[in-house]
Structure 1
Amino acid sequence: MLFWIAGPLSAFGFDLAPIFSNSIREDVMRNTSGQNDELLADVPDSELMAVVLEGRHGSYAAEVAEFFALLHRQLGDRGRSQAWGGVARLVRRREHDRMLATVQ
């Protein structure tokens, strides 16, 4: 089962779509202090988030990930902002690769 921690977004009335697994959820809770600069999402997690976003939002997946990156940056959560930015780049790269495959 997949879950996402709404965190400060619940104050804005957002109910976020499920993305992270339970084990990652616990890691995120431990690393939200801002004192630990390690990335919260590694490559397999970013791949999973990219696939979920593409499935739910189609061609808007990169923009959705970029929105969350900017939102978390404004809320002061650098780690989550970087993680979502990485997902946005990954979605764009996957889209580019698909477009190249159709041309060839």
Structure 2
Amino acid sequence: MNRKQITTFMILAVVMSLVITLQMCYPVFADENNGTQVIQTGFNTIYGLIAAIVSSIGSLYLLWGVFEWAQSMNMQDGGAQSMAFKRIAGGLVAVITPQLIPVITASVGA
């Protein structure tokens, strides 16, 4: 490395150190009670939206599995029946999971 590259590197290191130091020492002017309530309300809204989407997709997947299972009963195909049962189980898990997460978090204490 030549002298110009070394000086450029040193100046860049000093500037980055200064920027990081200023960012770490920036005070936060947030109300402790109101700030956490605003954040928790936002996260609860997002969680409710995602839970509704997952539950809806799970119910569609469950119905698809039930109809596929009914069709496989007519064909007597073991592979198709197995796939149908897997779809039914996956749909049940997706439907039940959004309702189980609050129960689990309440019992753990998170």
- Pairwise TM-score range, normalised by the shorter structure: 0.3 to 0.5
Higher helix content, 1 or 2: 2
TM-score by length of 2: 0.32
TM-score by length of 1: 0.33
